Amino acid sequence: MLHLAVRYNHDEVVIRLMEADPQLCCFTNNANESPLSLAVRKGTPSIVHCILKAYESGISPSFQGTNRLTALHAAVTQEQLKDKGVVEILVSKNSDLIKEVDAIGWTPLHYAAFTGNIEATQLLMESDSSASYILDLSKMSALHVAAYAGHTEVMKELIRYQPDTCDLLNSKGQTALHSAVLGGQRDVVEYI
């Protein structure tokens, strides 16, 4: 029931269900997606905040999503959640999410780097900058991803917190400079 209420943006139904049984936010559906992850993916901050109120009852909602994506992975890619502080709240509730990897080995920081979400990048790096050393299945760091996608400002943040990430090599022995060249990112090449 809670999943359906979240899916169809029925805020009032979500509120009533959460009041009646806050543990509903702990379950996943057949796609292994929690109500929280679904609400984040749909970009509905009011429902996200409602589900996170479960913490007030001593209940930790599930952050799980499909393909091992967490609610934090989804939050860093949602434009409509940018100014709502959802990323910050999720990190404050469960900082371990910063290092969680999805099915291809991407952390939330990889997604923030790919989408150019500078605010999320700053927040994640402030919370746990060691996540910038996590390599995906192709041994690509968030810096490689940002370089390939042409997000110089994200690169600056990653390097500011962890300068030696510039030395990280992917599975082909390539640096972020190689990624920028492969991505056709002239501005990034000039920056490097």
Tens digit of each residue's pLDDT (9 = 90 or more) over 11-46:
999 999 999 999 999 999 999 999 999 999 998 889
Tell me the C-alpha distance between 104 and 125, whole Å.
21
| Domain span(s) for CATH 1.25.40.20 in the chain | 1-100, 103-192
Q: Can you name the CATH fold of 1-100?
A: 1.25.40
Instruction: For residue 10, give the 3-state DSSP assignment.
Output: coil
pLDDT for 147 beyond 90: yes
Q: pLDDT band at 47, cuts 50/70/90?
A: very high
Compute and round to an integer the Cα radius of gyration of the chain. 18
What pLDDT, on a 0 to 100 scale, did the predictor assign at position 56? Answer: 87
Contact 102, 69 (CB under 8 A): yes
Contact 113, 146 (CB under 8 A): yes
CATH, range 103-192: 1.25.40.20
Burial zone of 130 (CB within 10 Å; 0-12 exposed, 13-18 middle, 19+ buried): exposed
Q: pLDDT band at 81, cuts 50/70/90?
A: low
Tens digit of each residue's pLDDT (9 = 90 or more) over 155-179:
999 999 999 999 999 999 999 999 9
Q: What average pLDDT is seen over the chain?
A: 94
What pLDDT, on a 0 to 100 scale, did the predictor assign at position 69? Answer: 95
